[in-house]
Amino acid sequence: MKLFTPTELGRLELRNRVVMAPMTRSRADQASDVPTDMMREYYQQRASAGLIITEGTQPSAEGKGYCRTPGIYSSEQIAAWKTITAAVHAEGGQIVLQIMHCGRVASAANKAAGVRTVAPSAVAAKGEIFTEQGMLPFDEPEAMSEADILQTIDDYRRATENAFAAGFDGVELHCTSGYLPAQFLSTGSNRRQDEWGGSLEKRLCFVLEVIKAMTAVDGADRVGMRICPGNPFNDLHDDNHQETFSALLQKVDPMGLAYLHVIRMPQLGLDNIGLAKANYSGALIVNESFDRDEAETVLDEQIQAVSFGRPFIANPDLVRRYREALALSQINPKTLYTPGEAGYTDYSTFD
């Protein structure tokens, strides 16, 4: 099966095309955002994937949204991530760090004292977020100043540098799910009337400048981007997501990224993979509820790999199970985000 053959995404050399999708699992140290020993074991258990894309990792303290998520902005965090990348490499795996700034999708209860919640505009997202004190409404964010925006772009650059210092093979920009880059792109959350908002061209600027900053560190062929046009998660709304993402991808295409990671949304009647192919000529990783057989059929000259989320949680040996057509274990949804090893590192291999 083609799913188990090698491929290359920029400088990333994958031994198979089964990619572990990024999934927040909330096992980092809450006070310091430092990855834990449990996380090292978790990723090492799944290193047979052609590529691991880590959980979303904040580039700064302001970028944190959820409790117990890791950062990549302190020396302690970098040192802890080094143990994780070394463990994955020891098993022959490749690992990319997903950089995720949550913007307005946040609560002060999940952040260190005095750390702000910021967004393109002072428009709170509707809904609630989990904290150790229970469910709380999303914060009303502060509208970012010009200086805030420039600093945040530089935070992404510095996070990319730190990721490479920690031994990651690449980095991925999280550009969906209602987080900061998507907030800048979308008319519902970006109400600015300056060079960072208003027209479509200006709403694209933040994401494009972030990509330029990330690719300037060590080339575009170690940088990927994840998108999901039309995704309403975290109260995200854009008046014309097809126009927005078509324009964005046409500008990103010549930059030569390692890959574009596309989440399909057939339940909303959206052909996100088709949109990507129409506006982007580079390699694609596709995602969302593929099984082994459908993944095999979707691979083509442009779609180089398929990422799997939930199946990797309960099946650390997912590649072997897919290759040998073995039965899959099922996840326990009650332990997806709870602290501790239960439902995290205690899922067994097929043996």
pLDDT at residue 351 greater than cutoff 90: no
pLDDT tens digits, one per residue of 34-90: 999 999 999 999 999 999 999 999 999 999 999 999 999 999 999 999 999 999 999
CA distance 255 to 350: 42
The reported pLDDT for the residue numbered 268 is 87
The three-class DSSP label of residue 2 is helix
Q: Which of 42, 66, 179, 280 is catalytic?
A: 179
The reported pLDDT for the residue numbered 96 is 98
Give the pTM.
0.98
Residue 32's pLDDT band (cuts 50, 70, 90): very high
Percentage of the chain modeled with pLDDT above 70? 100
Residue 212 covered by a domain? yes
- Residue 237, domain extent: 2-335
**DSSP bridge pairs for 124:** none
CA distance 168 to 181: 22
The reported pLDDT for the residue numbered 222 is 98
The reported pLDDT for the residue numbered 215 is 98
> CA-CA-CA-CA torsion for 106, 270, 255, 295, nearest 10 degrees?
100
Residue 11 covered by a domain? yes
- Pick the more confident residue, 296 or 267: 296
Mean pLDDT of the chain: 98
Residue 341's pLDDT band (cuts 50, 70, 90): very high
Q: Are 344 and 27 in contact (CB under 8 A)?
A: yes
Nearest to 18 by CA among 263, 331, 318, 351: 318
Letter string b/e over residues 74-87, b meaning 16 or more CB atoms within 10 A of that residue's CB: eeebbebbbbbbeb
Residue 331 covered by a domain? yes
pLDDT tens digits, one per residue of 236-249: 999 999 999 999 99
CA distance 30 to 24: 14
Please give the full DSSP string across 68-80, using - where no structure is assigned: T--BSSSHHHHHH
The reported pLDDT for the residue numbered 217 is 98
CATH code, domain with 119: 3.20.20.70
Residue 18's pLDDT band (cuts 50, 70, 90): very high
The reported pLDDT for the residue numbered 328 is 98
Residue 103 covered by a domain? yes
Active site (annotated) includes residue 179: yes
pLDDT tens digits, one per residue of 170-213: 999 999 999 999 999 999 999 999 999 999 999 999 999 999 99
User: CB within 8 A of 287, min separation 6: which ones?
Assistant: 21, 261, 262, 263, 264, 306, 307, 308, 309
Residue 343 covered by a domain? no
Domain total in the chain: 1
